[in-house]
């Protein structure tokens, strides 16, 4: 007899459920906060919070431009994670709960990744344009 097959109808125990739900809330809040603070230029270059890449560390212009451009994507990523808070409790199977967690989180991470990629691309183009203008008489 397969012990895993016996537990397929059981729901997540209370403590792991609370931890998962809390993690979703914290992740959504951090992503939205990063977007809001990045748009307002309130995140100073640091090694802990924000978009930390070789390009963003290369200059203050790069840091603030990338964070400003990625701000809306970060907020959307945080909001995209929130349906997990509704879907997990209503899922009727453990696999349903896993899907209810991973699908919105995956969508949020895709939005964040695309937004950061797009912000880097636009920021580099702006930097090149501004460097070209500085050479004009």
What stretches of 1-137 adopt beta strand conformation (E)?
none
Predicted local confidence at residue 133, as pLDDT = 67
Predicted local confidence at residue 136, as pLDDT = 47
Predicted local confidence at residue 12, as pLDDT = 80
The structure tokens listed for 131 are 């460097």
CA distances from 135 to 48, 127, 131, 132 (A): 36, 13, 7, 5
Residue 77 · residue 115 · CB < 8 Å: yes
Model confidence, pTM: 0.85
- CA dist., res. 27 & res. 130, Å (int): 36
Predicted local confidence at residue 1, as pLDDT = 39
Predicted local confidence at residue 29, as pLDDT = 97
Q: What is the mean pLDDT of each run of 10 residues along the chain (137 residues)?
A: 50 89 96 97 94 94 96 98 95 91 97 97 92 63
CA 49 to chain centre: 12
Going from N- to C-terminal start, the domains of the chain cover 14-134
Predicted local confidence at residue 2, as pLDDT = 41
């Amino acid at each position: 007899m397969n012990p895993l097959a016996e537990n397929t109808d059981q729901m997540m125990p209370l403590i792991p459920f609370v931890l998962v739900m809390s993690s979703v809330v914290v992740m959504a809040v951090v992503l939205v906060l990063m977007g809001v603070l990045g748009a307002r230029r309130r995140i100073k270059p640091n090694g802990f919070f924000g978009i930390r890449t070789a390009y963003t560390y290369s200059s203050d212009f790069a840091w603030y431009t990338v964070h400003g451009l990625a701000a809306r994507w970060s907020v959307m990523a945080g909001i995209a994670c929130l349906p997990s808070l509704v879907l997990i409790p209503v899922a009727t199977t453990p696999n349903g709960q896993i899907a209810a967690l991973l699908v919105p989180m995956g969508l949020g991470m895709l939005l964040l990744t695309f937004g950061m990629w797009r912000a880097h691309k636009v920021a580099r183009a702006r930097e090149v344009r501004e460097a070209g203008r500085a050479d004009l008489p």
